[in-house]
Structure 1
Amino acid sequence: MRRDRSNPLPLLAVAAVLAAGLALPGCATENGAWVELGGARYEVEIANDDQERARGLMFRDRLAEGSGMLFIHEREEMQSYWMKNTRIPLDILYFDSARRLVSQQRDVPPCSLGNGCPPYPSSAPARYVLELNAGEAARLKLEDGATLLFGPAVEQEAGADD
């Protein structure tokens, strides 16, 4: 089939989507930025430095179905997250260095109180924190001890010391 070079609109549309920072469906899964938990796969954004972890999912109006954010910490220790400037309810799931679920904060509500937002701590030391849309942990019937599997890109971001 011959390519029509006279109409650049399809190529421009793809370029515009990419320039806007929006992912095409399946892109994160294809490049390995995914995790599996409870038999479900989620495309994830990775927050692995202080600035990315501090911003998290702030100021977002929605989190696409089947996606989440994975926070990677340098070491396993007690963690505490809050919902400052977060507009969507979330499940906050804490995993140890072996990627076992050690603590869950389900159906955490949005908070617009700034520094007055309450903390949601882990009940055990954790290295990885996964934020998903509220209700996902219940839908998957997650219990402590569930294992989090990493796709190739996440494995690379997490480092070889796991």
Structure 2
Amino acid sequence: MTLQVGGHAIQAEYAATPEALSEGLMHRSTMAADAGMLFELGEPDIHCFWMKNTLIPLSIAFIDRDGRIIDIQDMQPRSLDPHCPPGPITQTLEMNRGWFARAGVRVGDRVTR
């Protein structure tokens, strides 16, 4: 799917099934520069992520029910360190580490389809 993120168009895989949500971007060695994965998480809640079996360094944007980014965090490959949002979210968007900073995308920006 194509997403608009802070004025940038990106191609994102869509993870909405239980299998896709648990697999995410694990076991991949590369990802295109302007590609990512959008996780659809359901009702607003505190959803934490970690990087077990994920080989690519990623940045994650935590997105609230209004499509606004409420936090962006960098994640280390193969780490079990939890990455949790500061408030309830309904989606996350994972991109190559540093993509949000390079694109000038900040907390408060919107993610739209």
The TM-score normalised by the length of structure 2 is 0.95
Tell me the amino acid that sits aligned with residue 134 of structure 1: R
Aligned to 1:67: 35
Matched with 2:77 is 110
- Aligned pair count reads 113
CA-CA distance at 1:69 after TM superposition? 0.3
- Separation in structure 2 between the aligned mates of residue 75 and residue 63 of structure 1, nearest angstrom: 28
Match of 1:141 in 2: 104
Matched residue type, 2:53: N
Higher helix share: 1
Moved more, 136-145 or 57-66: 136-145
Looking at structure 1, the residues matched to 35 and 101 of structure 2 have their Cα atoms a distance apart, in angstroms, of 16
1:119 matches 2:82:
yes
TM superposition shift of 1:141? 2.3
- Are 1:54 and 2:22 matched, yes or no? yes
Percent identical among aligned pairs is: 31
User: In 1, Cα distance between the equivalents of 2:47 and 2:72?
Assistant: 11
Give the structure with the higher percent strand. Answer: 2
In 1, Cα distance between equivalents of 2:102 and 2:53:
26
Where 1:41 maps in the other structure, the secondary structure is strand
Structure number with bigger Rg: 1
Query: How much is the aligned-residue C-alpha RMSD, in angstroms?
Result: 1.1
CA offsets 1:85-117 (integer angstroms, 9 cap, x no match) = 0000001101011100011112x1101x6xxx1
Distance 1:126 1:79 in 2: 7
Equivalent of 1:91 in 38, 59, 64: 59
Secondary structure, aligned partner of 1:81: coil
Moved segments of 4+, more than 4 Å? none
CA distance in 2, matches of 1:126, 1:34: 20
Bigger RCO (CA 8 Å, 6+ sep) = 2
